[in-house]
Copies of this chain bind each other. A is one copy, B any other.
């Protein structure tokens, strides 16, 4: 039995959310999707996610939402997190941290585990070892009966992401990176059957710097003076990937990057 899984990278602001929610039904049909994971760390005006936005995404057919270094940006989220197992922060926070780092969900085609780990190079705050913690958790989910496991690696450096791909090859079904907001072109199925992509890319304003107003960012880089970075406007480019996972083996058998453009009024 084959499970078709869609992952969408960092959703940025209102344009990103609107486009993602509009796209889901058509992508579901096109790819025969069984399971959808999105990274939502920039969904609320670029800074974190609110419970309301998270609920909208989950009601629109998203099965799990991963976050990242922006997970604490919206203070409302923190008391709410413990009650929503489908909203994931990086698992390699120390014990006692609010929220969940992984989830195991039932689907008609079998159990699917989702884990997020965060890197430790050029990203804050300092966390526990994502290699040690991430591998343990994938194995634990497998022992708990996961037929497929997706790992979102939220990291700045390509070296951490690729290394986690190799470490988890044959253990996770999909290892996919987030945080840099630019899709990479290195999608592959590793020898052990793990679908790997260094970065999924974002779902946000296409003409922008990582989803933010390009002129504001440029001004800052040119002058080194601080400035606010509002979320840029439509059109939106939605970036992600679709994996087909053999639920007997947990291995990916197909893996495809996607990029779609969405206009404001469509």
Closest residue of chain B to A210, judged by CB?
Answer: B159
Describe A's contact surface by its main secondary structure: loop
Per the bound structure, the CA–CA distance linking A209 and B161 in Å amounts to 9
- Given A128-B128, A158-B182, A97-B224 contact (CB < 8 Å): yes
A154 touches B (CB below 8 Å): no
- Given A185-B183, A225-B72, A210-B158 contact (CB < 8 Å): yes
A107 touches B (CB below 8 Å): no
Q: Which residues from 158 to 182 on chain A have a C-beta closer than 8 Å to any C-beta of chain B?
A: 158-160, 162-164, 166-167, 180-182
A262 touches B (CB below 8 Å): no
A247 touches B (CB below 8 Å): no
Nearest Cβ on chain B to A220's Cβ, whole angstroms: 8
Closest residue of chain B to A128, judged by CB?
Answer: B128
A222 touches B (CB below 8 Å): yes
- Complex interface: chain B residues within 8 A of A186 (CB): 182-183, 201
- Given A162-B210, A210-B158, A94-B185 contact (CB < 8 Å): no
- Given A181-B158, A185-B185, A186-B201, A163-B128 contact (CB < 8 Å): no
Interface residue range, chain A: 35 or more
Q: Which residues from 26 to 45 on chain A have a C-beta closer than 8 Å to any C-beta of chain B?
A: none
A129 touches B (CB below 8 Å): yes
Proximity string of chain A (211-234) to chain B, C-beta cutoff 8 Å, 1 when within and 0 when not:
000100110011111100000000
- Whether A224 pairs with B94 at a CB distance below 8 angstroms is yes
Nearest Cβ on chain B to A98's Cβ, whole angstroms: 8
A249 touches B (CB below 8 Å): no
A184 touches B (CB below 8 Å): yes
Nearest Cβ on chain B to A107's Cβ, whole angstroms: 29
A145 touches B (CB below 8 Å): no
A96 touches B (CB below 8 Å): yes
Q: List 16 A-B contacts (CB under 8 A).
A: A94-B224, A121-B122, A122-B122, A126-B126, A126-B224, A129-B224, A157-B180, A158-B180, A158-B210, A159-B210, A162-B182, A162-B209, A163-B214, A164-B221, A166-B214, A185-B185
**11 extra interface residue pairs, beta carbon distance < 8 Å, beyond A162-B209, A186-B201:** A94-B128, A94-B132, A97-B225, A122-B156, A131-B222, A132-B222, A158-B180, A159-B217, A160-B221, A182-B198, A185-B257
CB within 8 Å of B: which residues of A? Answer: 72, 93-94, 96-98, 120-122, 125-129, 131-132, 156-160, 162-164, 166-167, 180-186, 198-199, 201, 209-210, 214, 217-218, 221-226, 257, 259
